[in-house]
Amino acid sequence: CRPLWPLGCTSQCPLTSLASRFSLWSRQLSEFQNRPIHTFQVCHVMEPNQNNWLRSGWIQRQAAQRVYVEMRFTLRDCNSIPWVSGTCKETFNLFYLQTNEPLPAATRFRPSDYSKVDTIAADESFTQTDLGDRVLRLNTEVREVGPVTQNGFYLAFQDVGACIALVSVKVFYKRCPSTLRNLASFPDTVPHMDSSSLVEVRGACVENAEERDTPKLYCGADGDWLVPLGHCICSIGHEEMDASRAASSCNPGFFKAIAGNTKCSKCPLHSSSHDQAGTLCHCDKGFYRALKDPTTMACTRPPSAPRNLVSLINDTALFLRWMPPSDLGGRKDITYNVLCQRCDGSDGDGMTQCEACEPDLRFIPRALGLTGTSVAILDFASHTNYTFHVEAMNGVSGLVLSARLLTNVTVNTQQAGPALVGIINKDWSTQDSIALSWSEMEQPPSEIVEYEVKYYEKLSYSSTRTKSTSVVVTGLRPSTVYVFHVRARTAAGYTAYSSNFEFETAADDPDIADQGQVLVMVTASVGGFSLLVILTLFLLITGSVLTFCLPVPFSGIKTYVDPDTYEDPTQAVEEFAKEIVPSYICIERVIGAGEFGEVCSGYLRIPGRMDISVAIKTLKGGYMDQHRRDFLREASIMGQFNNPNIIRLEGVVTNSRPVMIVVEYMENGALDSFLRTRDGQFTVLQLVGMLRGIAVGMTYLSDMGYVHRDLAARNILVDENLVCKVSDFGMSRVLEDDSEAAYTTTGGKIPIRWTAPEAIAYGKFSSASDIWSYGIVMWEVMSYGERPYWEMSNQDVILSIDEGYRLPAPMGCPVTLHQLMLHCWQKEWSQRPRFNEVLSFLDKLTINPSSLLTLVNDVQSYSHSPEELPDYPLFISIGDWLDSIKMSQYKNNFLAGGYTTLDSISTMSIEDIRRIGVCLIGHQRRIISSIQSLRLQLHHIQQSGFQV
Ligand code: ACK
């Protein structure tokens, strides 16, 4: 409150007794600790017609809109004064007069000029003391005066015959005091004259704070601040202090890069701030921050050089592989550049002459910006020394001027001509040795020096040498198949490798020595010279001929080479698929039809080996070259894989007709039809086992960088032990073969129901889109081959997915598995799990089968509860519906059960379906699926705003 009056007045000055009998007294009141105080008193209670006036000086209004007068006075009640009845009064009156200026001193006092404010009565007059005396009590009364609109006013007190002592008069107005709220300051504010309206006041942000939403407060009539709105926030480099009243600067070692009411953060690792109010921490010497790094991220540095760079060369490709640097510099965005130089011969001073490699050298996947730790190099010149430098880069490498850290390897590509060794015979074997021999070529191009035999046990190798055309490789493991590569070194250097040969050591029985022989095609023989043959033994487990031969253990996985990167696709077939002698193939019967010709089953009868059951895909006569290429493309892809859950390529027949692809035989055929014929016959654990197998195969493919694009139950084959293997690789590019594939707006052919939205929309196929398809395969498996999204059109599937709809859990599906499916169907591809994560999740489920016990058994527990179901009109009858799903025989069951409308069946549970007498589990499943499908279609119709 602000006093208006008395301002700077002494006890004598403020009130003037006007034409009256008010007089100034000195009194002692207990309320004033009995100190003497001055009062104006009047007490002419015995005399009638009293009219005594006391008037204030001129009081300036200042900012006041509403003026209050507080009067403190004592008043004797008439009863306490004997013989005064009739004349004694117990009230006095308060008046006021507004003027713009003080009245001239000579102005006559005219009571009629004054307006009455109120009649004032006392609340208290006497109190009883302990001694029984009656003591006058002080009264306090407050009145509002006005409205006062002129510059000032006078107050006047009229006595009409009471006994009063006026102790004090205080005149004041109310204001909302200046304040700090939400980091904004609000000035002193006078409320509105009209008590029902508030004064809106805009605050100003305190120092080092900035406005977000305009800060506001409202000043109420009683001088209270009300309704705080908006706020200010601390500027960068500052944090809030003292309950949002002030912003203080960040201390050294702390920073704040974004305005807001958060605290200053400690400088991230390898950075510091030395001053107050730091908005950024500067990187310590030798550490950097990339342009896109958030300021909260630790400063990082370039990586050290890659380690253990090794090379492998075969006839057509040169492979480099390395290990990540020991110091990644604190970052994860590591990439590698492979730089190449040709270093041929030396100049006159004995210095090696190096120049940039030829531009048409092909690096697969590329030379720069590699994210993996291997690269394949094609189209290199023979008889050449290449030096490859591999450098590791990360997001801050570009900010550093210091020398680059490289790892080098020099590779000599010289080959002294084509393979000289063609036939290798296995003469005999024991459980730990194999005896080999080979014939000599009649006319070798140049003298052969000697044989060197290298052999590999797991990931390390040993070697032995021989000058003769035979060798006994000892120290092998029993009952193990080894792959042999042979090449000769002549005086001119190495020849190309021979084909692969597989030989097996004998079983673990010391008495049995295998005397089998293997006949293979001859590409060259060795003449009567001393010669060197290198036998390279690959342990089958480690992979095909592309496996690196390393002196150190090597954990890496091969990279898939796209056959399309070969100019001549037949080269890719030669490289990755074995040519089979047609007479070794024994066709038994036709088992199906593929896009290029029949699929048959039969045996592969290779002399010296056990018969193998095989499926034989044939290319029908009258094909065009393009057909042949597309047909064999699958073989050159499949031939690169070696995994128990990927269909195994036995070989191809390309040199005679019909052209054939021979793969392992899978007794139970395609997974989708297999499950359909065995509806409800497996345990959940068996189904999970199948899914696990598929996940193993897909983990292998994705690790190799191969994207399948057409993962679906129809492309998984099942063997007699229920092992599932991924197949159908030819379609990764064109998908012509898949009856499910439909043309998209971009012109590609895509199996819509199995394909991730980003792949449909912009052709973005990746292992993440394969994961989406894997989720659909999970759903197919758990529903025993049900068609995903039932009878919905492709267009409706795309729209529903876009609207966030996902397939509900199939009947009897454990909740955990459905959750995994939903995870695979995340719209954002980067949020989907990876195959190795899916695999370890499935492994955990298998180890802990109780996690599979919670089933989604009832349609009512699906994501759309019955209450949410649209109230749709009946557009077909129950009879039509049952006819459409070939379940007409249950019409009466539905009628008898009281289900006469589609509306009524939409909430049916599997229990309800059993209750009305549908006993066969396959029929229960078909009906419940169709109900789900109806619900989905109705949901979609509702979403699209279409009125049925
Ligand atoms: O469902 P299915 O019996 O399994 O019918 C198709 C048919 O050939 C046309 O592709 C079957 N099929 C394909 N590859 C093999 C295989 N490796 N083993 C057994 N059946 C196979 C497939």
How many Cα atoms occupy the beta-carbon half-sphere of 63 within 13 Å?
11
User: Residue 329: its pLDDT value, please?
Assistant: 93
DSSP secondary structure, 21-39, as one string: --EEEEEE-GGGTT-EEEE
Q: How far is the CA of 670 from the centre of ligand 1 (A)?
A: 6
Measured CA to CA, the distance from residue 705 to residue 557 in angstroms comes to 10
614 lines ligand 1 (CB under 6 A): no
Best CA proximity match to 537, nearest among 591, 463, 611, 600: 463
> Residue 464's beta-bridge partner residues?
453
pLDDT tens readout for residues 377-387: 877 776 778 88
Give the mutation target among 587, 595, 598, 599 for probing the ligand 1 site: most ligand atoms within 8 A of CB.
Answer: 599
User: Residue 330: its pLDDT value, please?
Assistant: 94
pLDDT tens readout for residues 846-899: 887 777 876 655 333 333 333 333 333 334 577 777 877 778 888 888 888 888
Q: How far is the CA of 752 from the centre of ligand 1 (A)?
A: 23
663 lines ligand 1 (CB under 6 A): yes
**Mind telling me the catalytic residues?**
710
584 lines ligand 1 (CB under 6 A): no
Are the CB atoms for 486 and 421 separated by under 8 Å?
yes
Indicate left, alpha or beta for 330 from its phi (over 0: left) and psi (-120 to 50: alpha): left
User: Residue 939: its pLDDT value, please?
Assistant: 57
665 lines ligand 1 (CB under 6 A): yes
Strand, coil or helix: 463: strand
User: Residue 347: its pLDDT value, please?
Assistant: 58
Mean pLDDT over 616-640 rounds to 89
Are the CB atoms for 36 and 204 separated by under 8 Å?
no
Task: List binding-site positions.
Answer: 591-599, 617
Q: At what angle do helices 815-824 and 835-847 cross, to 10 degrees?
A: 180
Strands 317-323 and 36-43, sheet pairing: unpaired
Rg (CA), the chain: 49
497 lines ligand 1 (CB under 6 A): no
| Run of H or E residues at 423 | none
Residue nearest to ligand 1 atom 1, measured at CA:
670
Measured CA to CA, the distance from residue 242 to residue 228 in angstroms comes to 18
Are the CB atoms for 98 and 53 separated by under 8 Å?
no
Best CA proximity match to 576, nearest among 588, 585, 563: 563
pLDDT tens readout for residues 304-316: 999 988 887 765 6
pLDDT tens readout for residues 77-110: 888 887 777 788 999 999 999 999 999 988 888 9
Measured CA to CA, the distance from residue 913 to residue 501 in angstroms comes to 61
Count of all residues that appear for the chain in the document: 948
Measured CA to CA, the distance from residue 419 to residue 441 in angstroms comes to 10
Q: How far is the CA of 731 from the centre of ligand 1 (A)?
A: 15
pLDDT tens readout for residues 896-922: 888 877 777 878 888 889 889 888 888
Q: Is 183 exposed, middle or buried (CB count within 10 Å of its CB: 0-12, 13-18, 19+)?
A: buried
- Between the alpha carbon of residue 877 and those of residues 874, 903, 935, the distances in Å are 7, 10, 15
| Run of H or E residues at 333 | none
More confident residue, 714 or 489: 714
pLDDT over 70 percentage in the chain: 77
Task: List binding-site positions for ATP.
Answer: 591-599, 617
Two tokens, residue 13: 């000055």
Best CA proximity match to 506, nearest among 465, 532, 478: 478
User: Residue 19: its pLDDT value, please?
Assistant: 52
